[in-house]
Amino acid sequence: MNDADRVLTWAGLLGRCAELARAAVALPEGDRWREAVAPVCTLHAVTLALESLDEVAEEERPGALDRAEILCRGAVETLTRLWDGDELPAQVRELIEESRAAFDMAANAGVEWIVESERLVCGHPGELVERLLRAGFGGELFVARPGVSMFRGAVAAFARSPGGGVPTGEQARLIEGFLEREGKVREAERIGMARQVYRQMDFATGKVVRDVVVPMNEPPVPGQALLVLAIDRGEAVGVPLPMGRGRELEAVPVVEMRAGED
């Protein structure tokens, strides 16, 4: 797909998905179900469109998310009114949950950089923050704590532009250059939810035993959070200076915790 094909308007994408939704929906007979066709098609179309939101022009993402939220809220209110206090059918509840999940994934999407070298250590991100803001970055940036060793497989940084968009090429290069001053990262990967890294210790021995990577929409796990917020909605956030390198930490395993795992 070339760039011209990818740059769609939200209205165009939603219209295309609405056609698919109307073709796919199959509902039982009955007045209540007939009235439910429109809101059900709306939820289905918005869900499909949100899953393809990367095809929309970057500047349209924030507005598209606002309109998607309004459409979904209206559809849910209509369905709730139609069932008038009765429990919603299972397939309707499932569709509502799918639309909510698609919205969360679209709104919270971004790119992350994973440590590729055996070890990576970041300095203070103050200069990076200044350069990103001058380059027009208006989203969120998480980076590894200054002076802390990050190990292969850990998240070194996460960035998202407004509306879950992707940083520009210049902005991404600034982040990669900062990360690779003392280590190496993989090519940035698109991801639906930011992830945090927690350093866990064996308190009986005082030794670090592993780093755990957890989606940020999941409850935090025991341990020290290793990623810090450096930019929040286009505003610099104060990041403490490193305490000093001290004794070099031996490499520990990095474990990914999937959504819903304990």
Counting residues of the chain whose pLDDT is more than 90, the rounded percentage is 53
Please state, in angstroms and rounded to a whole number, the distance separating the CA atoms of residues 95 and 5. Answer: 29
CA dist list (Å): 138 to 101, 105, 127: 24, 19, 16
128-154 confidence digits (pLDDT tens): 999 999 999 999 999 999 999 999 999
pLDDT at res. 1: 35
Q: Band the pLDDT of 252: cuts 50, 70, 90.
A: very high
The pLDDT of residue 4 is 40
How far is the C-alpha of 8 from the C-alpha of 1, rounded, in Å? 12
Between CA 90 and CA 32 the distance in angstroms is 15
**Closest by alpha carbon to 197, among 242, 161, 247, 157?**
157
Here the tokens at position 15 are 């219209």
Contacts (Cβ under 8 Å, ≥6 apart) of 84: none
> Is the alpha carbon torsion for 13, 165, 48, 86 positive or negative?
negative
Angle between helices 31-51 and 10-24 (to 10 degrees): 140
Beta strand 140-144 with 149-151: parallel, antiparallel or unpaired?
Answer: unpaired
Let me know: does 138 contact 198? Beta carbons within 8 Å.
no
Residues 11-19 have a mean pLDDT of: 67
Q: Pairing mode, if any, of strands 254-256 and 207-215? A: parallel
- List, in order of start, the domains of the chain with CATH numbers: 3-107 (no CATH), 110-256 (3.20.140.10)
* Rounded average pLDDT over 213-223: 92
Confidence band, pLDDT 50/70/90 cuts, at residue 24: low
In tens, the pLDDT along 55-107 reads 888 788 888 899 989 999 999 999 999 888 788 888 889 989 999 989 988 88
Closest CA to 214 of 152, 262, 151: 262
CA distances from 148 to 34, 122, 189 (A): 59, 7, 22
Cα separation of 73 and 85, whole Å? 17
Side by side, the strands of the sheet bearing 227-232 are: 189-191, 110-114, 155-160, 140-144, 227-232, 235-236
Would the pLDDT of 2 be above 60? no
Q: What contacts 129, CB < 8 A, 6 or more positions away?
A: 141, 230, 231, 236
Residue 220 has pLDDT above 90, yes or no: no
Q: Edge to edge, what strands does the sheet with 207-215 contain?
A: 224-225, 195-202, 207-215, 254-256
Average pLDDT, the chain: 86
pLDDT in tens, 159-203: 999 888 889 999 999 999 999 999 999 999 999 899 999 999 998
Q: Which two tokens stand for residue 94?
A: 């499932």
